Amino acid sequence: MIFTIALDGPAAAGKGTIAKALAAEFGLMHLDTGLIYRAVGKKTLDAGRTLSEADITEIARGLSEEDVQEQGLRTSAIAQAASRVAAISSVRDALIEVQRAFARREGGAVLDGRDIGTVICPEADVKFFVTASPEVRAQRRFEELRDRGEDVQFDDVLEAVRLRDERDSGRKSAPLRQAKDAVLIDTSDLSIESAVAIAVEHARRALKRT
Ligand code: CDP
Interval 66-76: pLDDT, tens: 999 988 999 99
Looking at residue 70, what is its pLDDT?
A: 83
* Predicted confidence (pLDDT) per residue in 2-15, tens digit: 999 999 999 999 99
CB atoms within 10 A of CB 54: 9
141 pLDDT exceeds 90?
A: yes
Q: Is 8 in the pocket of ligand 1 (CB under 6 A)?
A: no
Which amino acid type is present at position 102? F
* Predicted confidence (pLDDT) per residue in 163-190, tens digit: 999 999 999 999 999 999 999 999 999 9
- Mean pLDDT, the chain, integer: 96
Mean pLDDT of 102-120: 97
Q: Is 18 in the pocket of ligand 1 (CB under 6 A)?
A: no
Q: Give, using CA atoms, the residue closest to atom 15 of ligand 1.
A: 83
Task: Determine the distance separating the centroid of ligand 1 and the alpha carbon of 208, expressed in angstroms.
Answer: 30
* Predicted confidence (pLDDT) per residue in 17-63, tens digit: 999 999 999 999 999 999 999 999 999 999 999 999 999 999 999 99
Q: Is 59 in the pocket of ligand 1 (CB under 6 A)?
A: no
Alpha-carbon distance of 72 to 207, in angstroms, equals 35
**How buried is residue 202: exposed, middle or buried, by Cβ count under 10 Å (0-12/13-18/19+)?**
middle
pTM of the model: 0.96
Q: Give, using CA atoms, the residue closest to atom 20 of ligand 1.
A: 86
91 alpha-carbon distance from chain centroid: 16
Q: Give, using CA atoms, the residue closest to atom 4 of ligand 1.
A: 11
Looking at residue 1, what is its pLDDT?
A: 86
The packing angle between helices 15-26 and 192-209, to 10°, is 50
